[in-house]
Amino acid sequence: MFAKILIANRGEIAVRIIRACKEMGVATVAVFSQADRDALHVSLADESFCIGPAPAGQSYLNQEAILSAALLSGAQAIHPGYGLLSENAVFARRCAQAGLAFIGPDGDTIERMGDKDRARRTMAQAGLPTIPGSDVVENEEEAAAWAEKIGFPLLVKARSGGGGRGIRLVREKKDLAASVLAASAEAQAAFGDGGVYLEKFLAPAKHVELQMIGDSQGHILCLGERECSMQRKNQKVLEESPCAPVSPELRQRLCRQAVTALSEIGYQGLGTMEFLLSDGRFYFMEMNTRLQVEHPVSEMVTGVDLVKWQIRVAAGQPLDFTQADISLRGHAIECRICAENPRRKCGVIELLHVPGGPWVRFDTALYQGYTVPPYYDAMIAKLIVHAPTREEAIRKMQAALCEMVIEGVEHNRELLLDLMADPSFLDGSYDTGTLNRLLHENGVAG
């Protein structure tokens, strides 16, 4: 096992990783921007290094500074968390060249699966059904030709990155050229890669993902599925596990296909395979070669600490459980607590009351008196609950949301409470378009 790990991230995920390391007896090194000097992850780590000014491009994406901090501290590995450098193949390779373990797949695998267009072709060759789509389009003429084959409505999607960026829904031919340019520009700004491709828009559809893990001995396991259909601007708002429409037989078949596909590419590390479920059929969309924001719901229903096992397999340890040992117990729901007003996503946390009770989990880097900086992601916490049944989990989440108090920053608690009471959520029939429809009906911008 590693003696010391540097966490190349911030916020709640840095705190989550530090806590896992402490439980494993592993020393931790935090990195922070000038704006994060008083952040919780800095206080909890054994050592810390300032790596640059507030903007992420000059700090948390500063590969030279992060690698230097790792080498100076004597760390043996770097955990990238999610976002930022977590799916950066160049950074993974630079870690290896510096003699540091990158806690995630190697650079070649990240490059292969992080390119969504290439990943679709790889998974299709492995036998997974994929959504009809194009190759990467180089110009308006190519986009128009592919659109004629695919048909409208369709999506223009960035081949790199995630978080809902670089995606545009195109319903009519007249909007195609502008959407391609807009998606490409957004992707270039966010990920440094303006490549886009076209994909058939399936609706209504459910967004379902499989949690996967593979070790260096060739063992690959599936830890069940998560339902992630409640989305706003292509970004997830809440997640749950298991997914109601997925029967035990379908889950077994999906997991078997996913394991086979990842075995063919020799996948190592934690990863998530994302699918759309439409008209009773599953279609592979993309793979995230990292820890997901919503990993706690899978931990709740399987009892597996994904962060600890992500670290163990990166250290070369074999999985000590098999697919037969994995069963989904009860039901878990996660709500993302986000700063709702972009103009007031920063401020001093004047009062913080964390909800409690059996099987209630609150992942955050907030503390009373902390000043939330304006430079980073709007998500400020995650609230996760677990109960024997979905109905009990919903009631537990409603109670926990009502108990939660965060004063000083405007956030989305009321929206989440409305969603938890919506008939389509209560009966499980909601899909990827539900939240935007509800917002439109209530006169709120999607």
User: What type of residue is 250?
Assistant: L
Domain termination residue (choose one: 172, 200, 228) = 200
pLDDT of residue 193: 83
Does some domain include residue 108?
A: no
Residue 199 CA to residue 237 CA, distance in Å, equals: 23
pTM: 0.91
Catalytic residue among 94, 251, 290, 336: 290
Residue 168 annotated as catalytic: no
Of the candidates 256, 258, 260, which has an alpha carbon nearest to the alpha carbon of residue 272?
258
Q: What is the reported pLDDT for 233?
A: 79
Res 446: pLDDT:
54
User: What is the distance between the alpha carbons of residues 299 and 319, in angstroms, rounded to a whole number?
Assistant: 15
Helix H or strand E encompassing 331: strand 331-338
Burial class (CB in 10 A: 0-12, 13-18, 19+), 195: buried
pLDDT tens-place string over residues 20-72: 999 999 999 999 999 999 999 999 999 999 999 999 999 999 999 999 999 99
Domain range for 193? 132-200
Q: Do 91 and 144 share a structural domain?
A: no
Number of H helices, E strands in the chain: 15, 21
Question: What is the structure's pLDDT at 343?
Answer: 55
Using alpha carbons, select from 162, 211, 203 the residue that is nearest to residue 334.
Answer: 211
- Summarised one tens digit per residue, pLDDT across range 113-140 is 877 778 888 888 888 888 888 889 999 8
- 59 domain residue, yes or no: yes
DSSP single-letter state for residue 56: G
Among candidate residues 155, 183, 200, the one where a domain is terminated: 200
| Residue that finishes a domain, picked among 200, 231, 251 | 200
How many domains is the chain partitioned into structurally? 3
Which pair of tokens denotes residue 203? 């609706």
Query: Are residues 90 and 189 part of one domain?
Result: no
* Shared domain check, 357 and 296: yes
Peptide bond between residue 132 and the one before it cis (omega within 30 degrees of 0): no
User: Does residue 45 lie in a domain region?
Assistant: yes
Cβ burial of 391 (10 Å; 0-12, 13-18, 19+) is exposed
Which among 218, 319, 306 has a CA at the least distance from the CA of 262? Answer: 218
Round to whole Å and give the CA distance between 340 and 321: 41
Mean pLDDT lowest among 87-101, 155-169, 361-375, 396-410: 155-169
What's the Cα-to-Cα distance from 442 to each of 185, 335, 429, 446, rounded to whole Å?
31, 21, 20, 10
**Mean per-residue pLDDT, 287-302:** 97
pLDDT band at residue 189, thresholds of 50, 70 and 90?
confident
How far apart CA 162 and CA 116 sit, in angstroms, is: 10
* Dist CA 259 CA 264 (whole Å): 9
